[in-house]
Amino acid sequence: MTDETFPITIYHNPRCGTSRNTLAILRAAGHEPQVVDYLKTGWTRAGLEALLQAMGATPRDVLRERGTPAAELGLLSADVGPAAILEAMVAHPVLVNRPIVVTPRGAKLCRPSETVLDLLDRRPTHYTRDDGEVVPL
């Protein structure tokens, strides 16, 4: 199982198939991650800044455009700076793309789901998607 001093964390949206599949891969690899439903818990500015720093990412790198108020908030314009995007993400957690996974090997946005394999020290041989399909790895 995961090192108790550094548990794996997934910032998860249970309504997202990619997020559910990423969680399934983690579990198939023998991990029981800390699951953070960020739509319910929200973000703090400091927490989101720390996560972005760990990922080596900018707010724009993880800005979710589809199915969010990003366009209505004027965030899609190239002249909108990172501070404004970050402030909007704290106010509207849905603006952060998902799933984001943090392990001892790093942190990243895991789209597609199999991207999470780069963060694991052991790989599952397969996983079962949320639709029941068994996927060999």
Q: Taking the alpha carbons of 55, 57, 59, 61 in that order, is the dihedral positive or negative? A: negative
Which residues are within 8 A (CB) of 58 and not within 5 positions of it... i.e. 6 or more apart? 52, 82
| Cα–chain center distance at 20 | 11
Our answer to whether residue 16 is catalytic in this structure is: yes
Minimal CA–CA distance to 8: which of 84, 83, 110, 87?
110
Beta carbons of 58 and 52 less than 8 angstroms apart? yes
- The residue from 11, 12, 13, 16 that is catalytic is 16
User: What residues act catalytically?
Assistant: 16
